[in-house]
Amino acid sequence: MKRFLRFSFANVIFEGAFMTPKVLLAPMAGVTDFAFRRICREFGAEMTYTEMVSAKALSFNDKKTKTLLVTDETERPRGVQIFGSDPDIMAQAAKELSDDFDVIDINMGCPAPKITGNGEGSALLKNLPLAAEIIKTVSSECKKPVTVKIRRGFKENEDVSVRAAELAEKNGAAAITVHGRFTEQMFSGKNSLETIKNVKKAVSVPVIGNGDIFCAQDALKMFEETGCDAVMVGRGAMGNPFIFREIACLLRGEEYAPATDEEKIDAARRNVRDIVALKGEHIGILESRKIVSWFVKGMRGATEVKREANAAKTLDEMMSILDGILKK
């Protein structure tokens, strides 16, 4: 079974079901908790990933890290992303998580300085021998498909994406996600579709395109111009889980209508309720403030709503604020 999954990542088998995910939700720190993943699922995300999880923290049985792994059986197929720089610790984390997740993703793409400063995330693109050792060790110890998420490279104009992808495939990666920016760019500048295209030509495992997908047309363009096997939506889903529905419609050749303000507020209400249920009212409301700001962006009265949301302390207050925006 593992061999079949290795060579057919896009065809994920679990509990006898056969799926071909084409549109995935990217792992995003501070964003893709279970509450957010659930709402994205409702609107058509075919596969979702947890926030990135520290392999080292998991080895210490860190309680905060454990909260990032909350899921349920409605979330299938589901992936977990791990980060670290020690091959053995990474392999142990993957082994531990493989009972609960369908895919283990290795983070070699995070550009955040607090991650790269420790030689983790996209800093591994500066040390490809270590990156290859991590992938090989994790793949050999894990019973589930292991995938890798990379960037174009670390330093601008030092493109190592093809070499990194080839090493990933050689050492057991079942699929490779490519973001077409260098680490030093963070999220500035333009996402290079040419980079994704070049990686797709260089490897035989599925390639997932990522970066600057903010509408359904962006996803279609990525498919057409790179030949990628699937797309992964990140920032474009924040406050806009409807993007998954819109992409699905476009890929089927169907027309779609943009989400109405009523739909956005209803989704925001459910997302807020879920995060409060997941994390408790105090933490849930604090984290809901950014969620509300995402959903109301561009609406009439959005500035006032954001200000009110930032002062809210209870679920009832937040629900009242969301109800009020439709009356403005």
Residues serving a catalytic function are 110
Encoded amino acid at 157, one letter: N
How far is 89 from 45, CA to CA, in rounded Å? Answer: 31
Going by C-alpha positions, the residue among 296, 307, 234 that lies closest to residue 268 is 296
Q: Which of these, 137, 21, 143, lies nearest to 86 by C-alpha position?
A: 137
- Helix H segments across the chain? 2-7, 34-42, 55-59, 63-67, 87-97, 113-116, 128-141, 161-170, 193-202, 216-226, 242-251, 261-279, 281-296, 302-309, 315-325
Q: Name the token pair of 20.
A: 């071909």
3-state secondary structure at position 294? helix
CA dihedral sign, ordered 143, 50, 208, 150: negative
Q: Which residue has tokens 């091959």?
A: 87
Sign of CA dihedral 276, 268, 178, 16: positive
Query: Peptide bond before 77: cis, by omega within 30 degrees of 0?
Result: yes
For residue 277, which of 315, 248, 304 has the smallest C-alpha distance? 315
* Overall residue count recorded for the chain in this entry: 328
CB 54 within 8 A of CB 65: yes
Find the helix or strand (DSSP H, E) in which 106 lies: strand 103-108
* Rg (the chain; Cα; Å): 19
